[in-house]
Amino acid sequence: MQLYRRPDEYDLEHTGDDADLKFYVGLATRLKPKSVLELACGTGRITLPMAEEGARSGFSVVGLDSEATMLKLARDKARSLSTAARKRIRLVQGDMRKWHGREPFELIIVPCSSITHLLEMRDQLEVWRRAFQNLAPGGRFVVEAPMPNFSAYADSFTNPPRILVEIDRDVTDPKRNVRLVRRRTVTYLPDEQRAQIRFLYEKYRRKSLVESYIDDFESHVYFPRELRLLFLHTGFEIEDVFGDYNRKPLSAKSEQMIMVGRKPISGGKIQEP
Ligand SMILES: C[S@@+](CC[C@H](N)C(=O)[O-])C[C@H]1O[C@@H](n2cnc3c(N)ncnc32)[C@H](O)[C@@H]1O
């Protein structure tokens, strides 16, 4: 995807995003899996600290992503991990709808709303089914997606649709002396449950614009019961549902939906189409 052809800027955009990192590393520390798979691991923002935790707690980590440019940066950064963590991590190129691990995992995570990139129901079902197959009995599959913005959704029904422009990122990299400002517009296609997202980037050095670029992409809008259904339909039990990274219960005011599905220890059977 065009969106992921600038991995350095991706990391810059995510400067200071550590609430999700703490959530996932904390989850692994509590669940004590032997092996963790991160689907759509990107530049390793979560995978790499997870591998350091793996070295301390005794689990291994596989990061899977379809985008070579993102994985290359993840691999470059992995060289700075401790020797113990380097022995625990594997970064693999592949599609989360199809990839099959050699050994079953005990924890599979899809952080950072990566699951919204799959627009078709058959692709979503393939990911849930594949995760079920890649898990050991009793293993967990954790998926997160943003809670739909109901007021913006309602605005999409006006004619012409009202479109909000917001600055949703404004970050500075002191080492490169670069400030990156991102403006975002979202147009909902309510009947398709799809968001058309436009990111307008501006890069400044000493207050002067040095580069601007644009990314357009589409994203699936999940609703809470739909997420539940994807787990239940593919054979999972739902163990936990959170509304944020502090593990607050899901409510209408939540910004996130984080669902933890568990593959039954016995008797779980995957639903075929
Ligand atoms: C929002 S980034 C998340 C990266 C990382 N998990 C993080 O938390 O920073 C989404 C990632 O999903 C990857 N991706 C999109 N579709 C994919 C697919 N079908 N299989 C594997 N990776 C995919 C993209 O290449 C991108 O790196």
pLDDT tens-digit series, residues 207-243: 999 999 999 999 999 999 999 999 999 999 999 999 9
Position 269 scores a pLDDT of 58
- Please tell me the pTM assigned to this model: 0.94
Q: What is the pLDDT of residues 155-203, one digit of tens each?
A: 777 777 777 889 999 999 988 899 999 999 998 888 899 999 999 999 9
User: Which two structure tokens, joined as six digits, stand for 273?
Assistant: 């189409």
Question: Rounded to the nearest whole angstrom, what is the distance from the C-alpha of residue 248 to the centroid of ligand 1?
Answer: 25
Query: Which of 74-78, 141-145, 226-230, 269-273 comes out lowest in average pLDDT?
Result: 269-273
Q: 217 Cβ partners below 8 Å, 6+ apart? A: 1, 2, 3, 117, 197
pLDDT (0 to 100) of residue 124: 98
pLDDT of residue 129: 98
Pocket test for ligand 1, best of 50, 65, 98 (most atoms within 8 A of CB): 65
Burial of 124-140, coded b for 16+ CB within 10 Å and e otherwise, reads: bbbbbbbbbebbeeebb
**Residue 59: Cβ within 10 Å count:** 22
Closest alpha carbon to 84 in 53, 63, 110 = 53
Which residues line the pocket of ligand 1, CB cutoff 6 A? 4, 14, 40-42, 45-46, 64-67, 70, 95-97, 111-112, 114, 117
Ligand 1: centre distance to CA 267 (Å)? 32
For residue 3, the CA-to-ligand 1 centroid distance in Å is 10
Percent of the chain that is helix, strand, coil (3-state, to 5): 30, 35, 35
CB 107 within 8 A of CB 54: no
From 66, 91, 97, 119, give the residue whose CB has the most ligand 1 atoms within 8 Å, as the site to mutate: 66
The closest residue, in CA terms, to atom 12 on ligand 1 is 40
Ligand 1 atom with minimal separation from the 114 CA: 10
User: What pLDDT does 210 receive?
Assistant: 95
What's the CA-to-centroid distance between 55 and ligand 1, angstroms? 24
